[in-house]
Structure 1
Amino acid sequence: MVLPFLARRPTVPAKDGGSWPHVVIIGGGFAGANAVLGLADSRVRVTLIDRNVYKTFQPLLYQVATAGLNPGDVTMFLRGLSLKVPNMRYRQGEVIGVDPDQKVVTVDEGQRGEKRLRYDYLVLANGATTTYFGTPGAEEHAMPMYTRSQAIAIRDRVFSELERASRARDGDVLHVSIVGGGPTGVEIAGALADFRKQELDILYPELDPGTLNIRLVQRGGELIKEFREEFREYAAHELEDRGVHLCLGHGVKSVGYDYVTLDDDTVLESDITIWAAGVAIADVVKTWGLPQDKRGRLDVDENLEVKGFPGVFAAGDIAGGDGSLPQLAQPAIQAGRAVARAIAADVAGKVKKPFHYVDLGTMATIGRHAAITEMPELPGVGSIGLNGTVGWFAWLGVHVTKLLGHRNQRAVAMNLLSLYSGTRATHQPNPVVGEVDSLRAAREFEEQARHRKFGADHQA
């Protein structure tokens, strides 16, 4: 007897690959995962390669970094895509080489060495990585927040430092500096400020709320420049109202273990420096022999095909050229689906249709009952914008629906509603904590203090 749900699964090619065209997709983020899903009904073999076994929902990483969500709430097992796409196979590894002339991808698989995979179609969706713009000390001392492990590291560092501060006798202040005034910087600053206001005095009654000092440093004179002026002002007002110190119009000249130096040589204490200042394309892409624009993104045509290389597509953060899109989730989702349609059309002998991005708006959350939703202009209506509580619920609804997997959707919706709904009197703090090593934090603090004293004595 064949179970009904198995009977509905499409035919899968033979395990050895059969004769179906082979599509290799590099990267399991928004673009890569949606390209996989878009090929579910195509007569192709799909191999998805990623160094992680999970897909990360990056727009909610700041909630992991501030202990609002479990790391598992914002990640999905990539092999789970095979439930909807049985013609997909996953390989964990790091792509170290692409030869578009031979149509070969070289993958570092660790102890098994290098593996060469031949392809008929290649989808480059490996995204971007954190860039420090050559800032001295930033890579050594600042904490980026682009991956799940980095968000967990920030969370554990914050609570380790709070535990250390709770034992200090001299009223030690924990200074957190967030570098970058885009959506990520604004969101994590707002979340930390809400934690300080709603939970810090309950969880750490021995600490004064002023123990946690939050500062946001932005080179430009305004925050979240992706939004129109009224929303930029709204974001700044909301953060200041939550006690976040805004340092606008100043870039970071250097970063130390417990300080940041601004471009006017002002030195600010910073026990934890969170880097949310931007991303760039990985250097390895330069070795692939593919055309890149001035920002390092791959130059693609109207079909998202890399110019001069038929069968090689790029989608998401790595795709650029004349019509490059913002490096955000929605453009990556749409591009991934469009690449799948282009490959399916080519396999079927049909004409590929040019990709047209549909702007669905931009969102950012500032904190409890405060978010921004800016929709594109509509004929006869103009631009629609939401903020405050209404904007927050709109932000929540959109982000929950974008999550892959019903379990993730339910977990995120329930946890965020529990975290942000109700009043302070009814709120029961229960942060998601991990490896909190305040003893190590204390030892590092004392060691750095000795170095500072030695440096001061030496200069004297």
Structure 2
Amino acid sequence: MIPRIVVVGGGFAGLEVAKALGGAEIGVTIIDRHNHHLFQPLLYQVATAALSAPDIAEPIRKILGRYPSVQVLFGNVAKIDTEARILVLADGTTVPYDLLVLATGSQPFYFSQESWARVCPGLKSIEDARTIRSRLLLSFEHAERTTDPVEQSRLMTIAIIGGGPTGVELAGSIAELSRHTLARDFRNIRPEKTKIILVEAGNRLLAGFAPELSEYARLRLESLGVDVALDSRVEAIEAQKITVGGKVIPVALTLWAAGVAASPLAAQLGVGLDRGGRVKVGSDLQVMGRSDIFALGDVALFLDENGQPLPGLAQVAKQQGEHLGKALARRTDTGEDLPAFVFRNRGNTAIVGRHAAVFESGRLKLKGWFAWSAWAIIHVYLLVGFQHRVQVSIQWLWRYLTYERGARLIAEERAEPGPPPSPAAEQPAPREALPPDADALPGIARAR
């Protein structure tokens, strides 16, 4: 009997499983709480107005439309009943399964300081990117209309917590946005004087890279005017200030890039989790103790040949999805055992700023323009859909030549950074209202 296979999550891993099974004409159902696949490695560019949401997202139904055996369900899985082998969606719909593939990714982890989430957004979804973009641009709008120099200084101070790839990329992109693009847009403030603080608890940035690349990233960011604070731990985060090393710093916006945890659905499998909420899987990606459940990507704890967990990278999730999809197709067809997964590292990369990046693959280490070129080629290649590759390539070329960014929309009034300016502030001039979904994906509903 052909098993009922259900995949939860339409990210890199889940899509690859569905495509492999669909290509083998094996029935599979894929469920996601969004109806689009998001290319998360470029999400920070949406948050900093370099790209628009449609540039890095594609409807899941469109991606999988050429596979008749693949069914796509738009819904939020609320419960996993592992004994009855049933998924329960938020609206009460039940979906039975024989084999379950959990590929639900991760979410920001605030180290038990959940109150920080309200005032310090992470970056995991289009909604997150829109919120960050709106709060970031609003801080400059409020600074433009205030006459209080102290308040103006606060409104032009941005803090980023976490010196990993996301934090470094956000810091570099915000620095370029303020120092080049926005510098021409305002009259009462000088956006190029924006203070950007990157707070890292460790002794260097990009801890997963070679020390010389970490040092290059630090020097490059500092050349852009970023204040890099190493060996510094954030102690408190509030709407208008943060506390680092006992020092209170007034800020307009604080962004979280310091840690992630696996999707909370993993806890419903009834197996042990690591400190990051991940489920331990065997060499065949099967959840330990559950022969009918597999876990992939950020939700899985997979140990390499050296006993080290694989990092939460897109290439890891993509390779695991391809491997498992093909393996399940062969087992369904011939009954052969599932082979062990072997990760093949294609290199690790992070962009630091305009034509500057770091790239590492084994003994090969690149920095500067060559690394930036490799980063651009890799990311354009991995984008889903030919039209996205063309669009993003054209936009990057235009930005490179002009420093212009066209996605500078404040689309959500609820994203105001803290209370409005003090009574001393000037009244803003009337402005044309923007629709709440000014850069929304066509036909895409918001779902949380």
Do these two structures clear the TM 0.5 threshold for a shared fold by scoring above it? yes
Which residue does 2:439 correspond to in 1? none
SS at match of 1:38: helix
In 2, are the aligned partners of 1:300 and 1:307 still within 8 Å (CA)?
A: yes
Which residue does 2:432 correspond to in 1? none
Which residue does 2:71 correspond to in 1? 89
| Identical columns (%) | 32
RMSD value over aligned CA atoms?
A: 2.0
Which residue does 2:406 correspond to in 1? 430
Which residue does 1:168 correspond to in 2? 146
Which residue does 2:110 correspond to in 1? 132
With over 3 angstroms needed to count, the CA separation of the structure-2 counterparts of 1:345 and 1:301, relative to structure 1, is same
Which residue does 1:418 correspond to in 2? 398
SS at match of 2:23: coil
In 2, are the aligned partners of 1:38 and 1:337 still within 8 Å (CA)?
A: yes
With over 3 angstroms needed to count, the CA separation of the structure-2 counterparts of 1:41 and 1:437, relative to structure 1, is closer
Which residue does 2:130 correspond to in 1? 152
1:321 Cα offset (Å):
4.5
Which residue does 1:329 correspond to in 2? 314
1:193 Cα offset (Å):
0.7
Which residue does 1:24 correspond to in 2? 6
Which residue does 1:42 correspond to in 2? 24
Which of residues 334, 338, 350 in structure 2 aligns to 1:352?
338
With over 3 angstroms needed to count, the CA separation of the structure-2 counterparts of 1:83 and 1:442, relative to structure 1, is closer
How far apart, CA to CA, are the structure 2 residues paired with 1:236 and 1:364? Answer: 12
With over 3 angstroms needed to count, the CA separation of the structure-2 counterparts of 1:79 and 1:34, relative to structure 1, is same
SS at match of 2:341: coil
Which of residues 311, 317, 325 in structure 2 aligns to 1:340?
325
With over 3 angstroms needed to count, the CA separation of the structure-2 counterparts of 1:298 and 1:427, relative to structure 1, is closer
1:201 aligns with 2:183: yes
How far apart, CA to CA, are the structure 2 residues paired with 1:309 and 1:135? Answer: 32
In 2, are the aligned partners of 1:281 and 1:318 still within 8 Å (CA)?
A: yes
How far apart, CA to CA, are the structure 2 residues paired with 1:436 and 1:78? Answer: 25
How far apart, CA to CA, are the structure 2 residues paired with 1:284 and 1:436? Answer: 29
1:444 Cα offset (Å):
2.9
Which residue does 2:429 correspond to in 1? none
CA deviations 1:410-451 (Å, max 9, x no partner) are 1111112211x23xxx5445343242659965853439x9xx
Amino acid of the residue matched to residue 346 of structure 1?
R
Which residue does 1:374 correspond to in 2? 360
The correspondence of residues 60-459 of structure 1 with structure 2, limited to 5 A, is 60-108=42-90, 113-135=91-113, 137-171=115-149, 172-173=152-153, 174-262=156-244, 264-323=245-304, 324-348=309-333, 349-376=335-362, 383-419=363-399, 421-422=400-401, 426-435=402-411, 437=413, 444-446=420-422
SS at match of 1:304: coil
Structure 2: stretches of 5+ with no match in the other structure:
426-448
1:322 Cα offset (Å):
3.6
In 2, are the aligned partners of 1:180 and 1:276 still within 8 Å (CA)?
A: yes
CA deviations 1:220-239 (Å, max 9, x no partner) are 11000010011000000000
SS at match of 1:344: helix
1:287 Cα offset (Å):
2.7
**Greater Cα radius of gyration, structure 1 or 2:** 1
Amino acid of the residue matched to residue 433 of structure 1?
L
In 2, are the aligned partners of 1:135 and 1:255 still within 8 Å (CA)?
A: no
Structure 1: stretches of 5+ with no match in the other structure:
1-18, 377-382, 450-460
1:158 Cα offset (Å):
1.1
In 2, are the aligned partners of 1:164 and 1:441 still within 8 Å (CA)?
A: no
1:313 Cα offset (Å):
0.9
With over 3 angstroms needed to count, the CA separation of the structure-2 counterparts of 1:210 and 1:418, relative to structure 1, is closer
How far apart, CA to CA, are the structure 1 residues paired with 2:56 and 2:140? Answer: 25
With over 3 angstroms needed to count, the CA separation of the structure-2 counterparts of 1:38 and 1:418, relative to structure 1, is same
Which segment drifts farther, 141-150 or 315-324?
Answer: 315-324
How far apart, CA to CA, are the structure 1 residues paired with 2:345 and 2:29? Answer: 30
How far apart, CA to CA, are the structure 1 residues paired with 2:253 and 2:391? Answer: 29
1:45 Cα offset (Å):
1.4
In 2, are the aligned partners of 1:23 and 1:47 still within 8 Å (CA)?
A: yes
CA deviations 1:262-285 (Å, max 9, x no partner) are 2x3111111100011110023343
Give the alignment's TM-score, normalised by structure 1.
Answer: 0.86
Which segment drifts farther, 33-42 or 201-210?
Answer: 201-210
Amino acid of the residue matched to residue 92 of structure 2?
E
How far apart, CA to CA, are the structure 2 residues paired with 1:299 and 1:94? Answer: 24
Where relative contact order (Cα < 8 A, 6+ residues apart) is larger, the structure is 2
1:290 Cα offset (Å):
2.9
Which segment drifts farther, 166-175 or 201-210?
Answer: 201-210
In 1, are the aligned partners of 2:25 and 2:67 still within 8 Å (CA)?
A: no
In 2, are the aligned partners of 1:363 and 1:371 still within 8 Å (CA)?
A: yes
How far apart, CA to CA, are the structure 2 residues paired with 1:271 and 1:434? Answer: 16
Which residue does 2:437 correspond to in 1? none
1:33 aligns with 2:18: no
